[in-house]
Structure 1
Amino acid sequence: MASGLTRLMARGGMMFAGALIALQLTACGDKEGEQRKAFIDFLQNTVMRSGEHLPSLSENQKQSFGNFASDYAIMYGFSQQANKAVEQGMRPVVDELSAIRVPQDYLSRRDSLRQANSALVIVTQQIESAKMQADSSKAALKQPDDLKKVYDTAYNKVVTVPANQLIPLLPKLQALSQGAVQTGDFLQTQGNRVSFNDGGVQFPTQDQASQYNALMSTLSANAQALPQAQQITQGSIR
């Protein structure tokens, strides 16, 4: 009798333990679902409606999103790098080039433009590296289908579209600014053999004029990069 009761209690204990495990698994599953739902809502109603600057996550949001917070970090990291490329690399060059109105400006602005162009070269390399890193991190994600669809849309807006605008444009802007610096250097080497009158430039020899015209042709070939860069610095990157 005692042994039968013991077996009954043991069986009941096993049933209780099994129910407890099932309850724990259900609770864990519900938590992951709640985190995914919260993250999807954030992507749709915050990220997709954000301008050029994505918000950083609060501690409460990180807890609410759980492991999905690291998925957001991929987009956020690239966005930060893209904004840096615009503000610290592109904008100073655009400002310098936009200030060139007459030939003498090539001469007076060549040093500041040279410095700005050096920074542009660095951020160009950084944005290319950031795009490759973001794509690699995204490819490694294992997301449920409902989240993946929303995440891919947000990623396209935050990473792919800006990268497709910036990465091809930055080398063209570099070429334009470098050409402007070379023009300033050329005018500097002419010394008193060049004169500036009525917003124009005059040379005493045809050889000088030909060299200057060749520099102008190089600038013209890359001139379209300036208005494109101006649009981006004015907030039209997305």
Structure 2
Amino acid sequence: MNVSFRPHWLLALALPLALAACGSSEPDQRAAFKQFLQTRIVDKPGVHVPKLTADESKSFGEYATHYAVITDFNSGMDASVKPLGSLVQKGAVRSLGDVVSRRDDLKAVQSGLNDMATQLKAQQVKADSAHAQLKQPEDLKAVYDSAYDRTVSVPANTFLSVVPQINSTLDSSLKVADYLDAHKAQIEINGPVVKVQDPKVQAELNALLQDLNAQARTVQQAQARLQTVMLGR
């Protein structure tokens, strides 16, 4: 009777081995993940963070959690910078009359921009910490680091560099508003027409406006750079 049971014990022991052999090996998972990062992120212009399909996630094995560091950051970044467009729009001024009448709006935009930058920086620090803790073979690490730079470091740093430039433009706008308020007796604003009675006041106001225009051009260049980073064109 003892002999008759041996095949059953052997079968029971062999079954887990057979099941384990059906899964993807680490080299296969690594190769699949490397190819995904290279072809779907690194080789494409702009910032692309594809959502994994169930099959892709399964084929990457444990490396799917490495990709989550990138996707989690981008979800957080999207939420953090979502107000940027409306803030820039709210801070846009088209006349000296706007500068005076919308001073509170300009200050509110500055506050919103600073909050956005704080949130984005926190998201970046969190992602950088998670990135530093990843254990990866050197061949994967090289590709992953390139993908991480493209989808985390570069967009975050570019956004964060734009915020101070927008703030500088808002500072210049507020200086103009303060000057106009302090010299309203010498300055007459009628729509797009501005009349200044005192030559000294006119020269000082022109200098402030030249600085504001220069700051505005810098912001336009920064926005163009941001678009190039995000869209690759």
1:34 corresponds in structure 2 to 28
What residue identity is the alignment partner of 1:72? Y
Structure 2: distance between partners of 1:228 and 1:83: 22
> What secondary structure is seen at the aligned counterpart in 2 of 1:124?
helix
2:86 corresponds in structure 1 to 92
1:69 corresponds in structure 2 to 64
> What secondary structure is seen at the aligned counterpart in 2 of 1:100?
coil
Structure 1: distance between partners of 2:164 and 2:15: 62
Q: Is 1:163–2:141 an aligned residue pair? A: no
Structure 1: distance between partners of 2:45 and 2:32: 17
Q: What is the deviation of 1:211?
A: 6.2
Q: Indicate if the aligned counterparts of 2:196 and 2:202 stay in contact, CA closer than 8 A.
A: yes
What residue identity is the alignment partner of 1:71? H
> What secondary structure is seen at the aligned counterpart in 1 of 2:49?
coil
1:103 corresponds in structure 2 to 96
Once structures 1 and 2 are overlaid, which stretch shifts more, 142-151 or 215-224?
Answer: 215-224
What residue identity is the alignment partner of 1:156? D
Q: Indicate if the aligned counterparts of 1:173 and 1:226 stay in contact, CA closer than 8 A.
A: yes
> What secondary structure is seen at the aligned counterpart in 2 of 1:157?
helix
2:108 corresponds in structure 1 to 115
> What secondary structure is seen at the aligned counterpart in 2 of 1:196?
strand
Within 5 Å, give how 1:1-238 maps onto structure 2.
30-48=24-42, 49=44, 51-52=46-47, 54-89=49-84, 91-96=85-90, 99-188=92-181, 194-197=187-190, 199-205=192-198, 209=202, 212=205, 215-216=208-209, 219=212, 222-232=215-225, 234=227, 236-237=229-230, 238=232
Q: What is the deviation of 1:120?
A: 0.8
Q: What is the deviation of 1:124?
A: 0.8
After superposition, the CA RMSD in angstroms is 3.7
> What secondary structure is seen at the aligned counterpart in 2 of 1:141?
coil
Instruction: Report how many aligned residue pairs link the two structures.
Output: 229
Structure 1: distance between partners of 2:219 and 2:193: 21
What residue identity is the alignment partner of 1:31? S
Structure 1: distance between partners of 2:200 and 2:122: 43
| TM-score normalised per structure 1 | 0.72
- Higher CA-based Rg: 1
Q: Indicate if the aligned counterparts of 1:93 and 1:113 stay in contact, CA closer than 8 A.
A: no
> What secondary structure is seen at the aligned counterpart in 2 of 1:126?
helix
**Gaps (5+ residues) in structure 2?**
none
Q: What is the deviation of 1:46?
A: 1.8
**Gaps (5+ residues) in structure 1?**
none
Identity of aligned residues (%): 31
Structure 1: distance between partners of 2:171 and 2:87: 10
